[in-house]
């Protein structure tokens, strides 16, 4: 129970856009800053990651990247730009359970402030 509470508190307070996506490509969790970046609401939980219009506009290759990470078990990165012109380094990494199983992906976005070189 404490671990669940700890995770909920970390995800709600961290100012980093983070998405947790299941093997079925559906959103399991996201931080408030990911909600703002990708225009997500609670009703998007359980929906496929590519279904949100704004998410597809900002990161059109995200579904493909999630698929590649799940197939290859290796991280993928790309650069995206939000509608306000800010640049982000997007990282898609395997979600590994405590018993070593791949159960989806963890997607994070780091504000880079500048366009890629």
* Domain locations in the chain as residue ranges: 16-111
Q: Which of 90, 111, 109, 112 is nearest to 18 (CA)?
A: 109
CA 91 to chain centre: 8
What is 16-111's CATH number?
Answer: 3.30.450.20
Distance, in Å, from the CA atom of 18 to the CA atom of 2, rounded to the nearest integer, reads: 21
pLDDT digit string, tens, across residues 82-115: 888 889 999 999 999 989 999 999 999 999 877 7
> What's the CA gap between 23 and 101, in Å, rounded?
11
| Rounded Cα–Cα distance for residues 62 and 13 (Å) | 24
Pick the residue with more confidence: 7 or 60?
A: 60
Query: Which pTM does this prediction carry?
Result: 0.89
Q: 38-88, pLDDT tens digit by residue?
A: 989 999 999 999 887 777 788 889 999 999 999 999 999 999 998 888 899
What is the radius of gyration, based on Cα positions, of the chain? Answer: 14
Question: Residues near 46 by Cβ (< 8 Å), separated by ≥ 6?
Answer: 26, 27
Burial class (CB in 10 A: 0-12, 13-18, 19+), 77: exposed
């Amino acid at each position: 129970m404490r671990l669940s509470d700890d995770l909920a508190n970390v995800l709600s307070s961290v100012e980093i856009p983070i998405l947790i996506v299941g093997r079925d490509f559906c959103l399991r969790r996201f931080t408030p800053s990911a909600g703002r970046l990708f225009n997500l609401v609670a009703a998007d939980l359980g929906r496929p990651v590519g279904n949100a219009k704004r998410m597809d506009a900002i990161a059109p290759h995200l579904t493909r990247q999630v698929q590649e990470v799940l197939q290859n078990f290796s991280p993928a990165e790309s650069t995206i730009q939000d509608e306000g012109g800010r640049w982000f380094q997007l990282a898609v990494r395997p979600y590994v359970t405590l018993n070593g199983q791949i159960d989806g992906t963890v997607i994070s976005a780091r504000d880079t402030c500048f366009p890629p070189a």
